[in-house]
Structure 1
Amino acid sequence: MQTKINKVELRNLEIEDYKQLKKSMIESYPEMADSYWGSDDIERLLSIFPEGQLVILVDGKVVGSALSLIVDEKLVDKKHNYQQISGDYTFSTHNDNAEILYGIDVFIHPNYRGLRLGRRLYDARKELCEQLNLKAIVFAGRIPNYRDHAKKMSPKTYIEKVRTKELYDPVLSFQLSNDFHVLRIIKNYLEGDEESKEFAVLLEWNNIYYDDSPKLINLKKNIIRLGLIQWQMRPLNNVEALFEQAEFFIDVVSGYGSDFALFPELFIAPLMADYNHLSEAEAIRELARHSDPIRKRFQEFAISYNINIITGSMPYLENGNLYNVGFLCKRDGTSEMYTKIHITPNEVIHWGMKGGSQFKTFDTDCGKIGILICYDVEFPELPRLLADEGMNILFVPFLTDTQNGYTRVKHCSQARAIENECYVAIAGCVGNLPKVNNMDIQYAQASVFTPSDFAFPSNGIKAEATPNTEMTLIVDVDLNLLKELHEHGSVKTLKDRRTDLYEIKKLNS
């Protein structure tokens, strides 16, 4: 490596680069002196796929290159060697309409190794793969150090020892560190490759943004806007007054282009004032009579304001049993019910509520979401099962009377965001409610929590409302950041679970 470098440049290969390209290629493969592309080959390659050919220049000198084709996935799946995949070195296998970016060559001049220039080439390839909406990058990597171990172990054993870092291979170790994974071993891949004993390792990098069915309309969104409603408990004369106040907030968050409106747990409790002369258990059962009319009206709001509404929760009577439920009212006019699974001692003692027995993720036009009511988020098993089903956003309508209760909901929600690599949005009620037994005071701070990695806020808090003040909180969350986290995060809490030792599963699935 030279001692002083003034400029490093990464760009597309041009035919004028050929002489320097040839020289660097020969010096990069001293054991295969005749293995370099001719000028006619490079000219042909540039004519069919110019954007796929990359070079690294150091102070104007070509010191590395990455050459690629686009090939059909079926061709990659078939047993093949280098001659076949390159179309007998004519590049006739290239197909602009295919799905796989196939690497046919990559090298760095020996004098410039150790500068991570190869990483730059691979990062540029990955960016190209994403820009062209290709499914994956695939190539067959040499294993040049295998020659020293061929008498003692099989290629499979060698690859496993390189993967576990018991052995080092200058090519394979580099590929594995760049998020490539092994597909299979290929025998007799490159004629004359004595260092690898003509074995190669077929490697793949998956494009997590690949869309196999691009559409012009109704595309799944990556930036999702959440509208959280921090609801002030106040006396209401009737259910129409509740609808009027709810519609005001739906109008507000819809006006800002929100995809979801989240209401708190039991935000309809002010309607219970009419039944305050009854026992607490009787009063809440009377309140349950409003649940179906509220669901129907919120379905209308979802359509007319073009927004998905999570109705917090409300009491619901079914076969004589009282449940705490809510509704996901989608903007397409449909609705689905969710039920609180874990009932607090207070709900049991004062109201005689029962916990539900079904929970699931919900498909929306913004991807899969989960909804858990208040106390449920304090049980890590439920969000983990939803994460296993593909949940990206967890909504938690809650109701807490004191700061102690809110602290439990807040910190458990933050933990769920980190451990399940998802966003968690919480919204609760604030203020006081005279003349309604068991619903006197409320404490809340609506928030959106995130995982804790470099792409997210360092404290894991995307946004917070002012505590104990009626307001809305409007927040954008980026699903692409979750995809990056799942695949390339500093830690991978979902992938790194020891499922060989433990598992969590639904008993009723």
Structure 2
Amino acid sequence: MHKELIVYVSGKPERIVIRNYTRDDLQGMIAIQQQSFPPPFPSELWWNELQLLEHVARFPEGALCAEADGRLIGSMTGLLVDGTAAVGNHSWEEITDGGYIRNHNPAGDTLYVVDLCVIPAYRKAGIGKWLMQSMFEVVVHLGLNRLVGGGRMPGYHRYANEATAQQYLDRVVAGEWHDPVITFLLRCGRMPVGVAQHYLEDEESCHYAAIMEWRNPFATMRRQ
């Protein structure tokens, strides 16, 4: 994939490129993590070179990055899984192989989102939404059934004493409560299909995640 578009950063137009990241982008990909998750976030949770090498070797179509003026500013990574693996309760660790995606299934019918990250300076420029749209295009291009992934619910800890995780998600979808991640995913076209417990070590989300999908509207057509 390689496409150019204009985004507005602090009201000024800026040309960016969305493309597949490669072995040549390892340091730029790690720099995205460093800027997005500075200390006290543990550095061992940033992407490492071995993980990134696995991404580009096993599923290069699902290794996307955004670039501005030669600098990487965001990324999104996926792997293919069998659709049944993405339903029900599961953890990020088990379904993504701890981010190494060595369990990538070339015959899978579902693209599972491993990670989506944008550096702080570009978070209000729509880069995340453009990366998501680009991954939808990968789903269509490969003739997959859907895209699925777990979304953090960082606002849930404020309501955990009065609502279950599913009730919290339902009220965010209904517009009664706002959650920065889930609301973003809804605006991208993702729809909730369930809640996973112990998905990530994430105190803000009380370790839950909303499992959210985007169905390929052309999948049935392509199977005929």
TM-score (structure 2 length as normaliser): 0.87
**Residues 89-100 of structure 1 mapped to structure 2, 5 A cutoff:** 89-100=99-110
20, 25, 32: which one aligns with 2:33: 25
2:125 is the counterpart of 1:110 = no
How far did 1:87 drift? 2.4
**Cα distance change, pair 60–74 in 1 and its aligned pair in 2 (3 A):** same
How far did 1:136 drift? 0.3
Is the Cα–Cα contact under 8 Å of residues 180 and 203 in structure 1 kept in the other structure?
Answer: yes
* Distance in 2 of aligned mates of 1:98 and 1:15: 24
2:66 is the counterpart of 1:56 = yes
CA displacement, residues 76-102 of structure 1 (integer Å, 9 cap, x when unaligned): 125310111012443122111110000
**Cα distance change, pair 3–33 in 1 and its aligned pair in 2 (3 A):** farther
2:144 is matched with which residue?
134
The one-letter code sitting in structure 2 at the alignment partner of 1:11 is R
Is the Cα–Cα contact under 8 Å of residues 9 and 57 in structure 1 kept in the other structure?
Answer: yes
208, 211, 215: which one aligns with 1:206: 215
* Distance in 1 of aligned mates of 2:148 and 2:169: 17
Is the Cα–Cα contact under 8 Å of residues 32 and 119 in structure 2 kept in the other structure?
Answer: yes
Max Rg structure: 1
**Which protein has greater RCO, CA pairs closer than 8 Å, 6+ apart?**
2
**Cα distance change, pair 47–161 in 1 and its aligned pair in 2 (3 A):** same
178, 192, 195: which one aligns with 2:204: 195
**Cα distance change, pair 3–50 in 1 and its aligned pair in 2 (3 A):** same
What is the aligned-residue identity percentage? 28
The one-letter code sitting in structure 1 at the alignment partner of 2:25 is D
* Distance in 2 of aligned mates of 1:169 and 1:119: 16
How far did 1:121 drift? 0.6
Backbone CA RMSD of aligned residues? 2.0
* Distance in 1 of aligned mates of 2:41 and 2:92: 15
140, 145, 156: which one aligns with 2:155: 145
**Residues 243-282 of structure 1 mapped to structure 2, 5 A cutoff:** none
129, 133, 137: which one aligns with 1:119: 129
Is the Cα–Cα contact under 8 Å of residues 5 and 59 in structure 1 kept in the other structure?
Answer: no
How far did 1:49 drift? 0.6
1:9 is matched with which residue?
17
* Distance in 2 of aligned mates of 1:89 and 1:108: 17
Is the Cα–Cα contact under 8 Å of residues 65 and 107 in structure 1 kept in the other structure?
Answer: yes
The one-letter code sitting in structure 2 at the alignment partner of 1:60 is G
The one-letter code sitting in structure 2 at the alignment partner of 1:55 is C
Corresponding pairs, count: 214
The one-letter code sitting in structure 1 at the alignment partner of 2:206 is K
Identify unmatched segments of 5+ residues in structure 1: 220-509
CA displacement, residues 282-333 of structure 1 (integer Å, 9 cap, x when unaligned): xxxxxxxxxxxxxxxxxxxxxxxxxxxxxxxxxxxxxxxxxxxxxxxxxxxx
2:149 is the counterpart of 1:168 = no
* Distance in 2 of aligned mates of 1:197 and 1:146: 7
CA displacement, residues 372-411 of structure 1 (integer Å, 9 cap, x when unaligned): xxxxxxxxxxxxxxxxxxxxxxxxxxxxxxxxxxxxxxxx
Identify unmatched segments of 5+ residues in structure 2: 1-8
Instruction: Please state whether the residue corresponding to 1:7 is helix, strand or coil.
Output: strand
The one-letter code sitting in structure 1 at the alignment partner of 2:177 is L
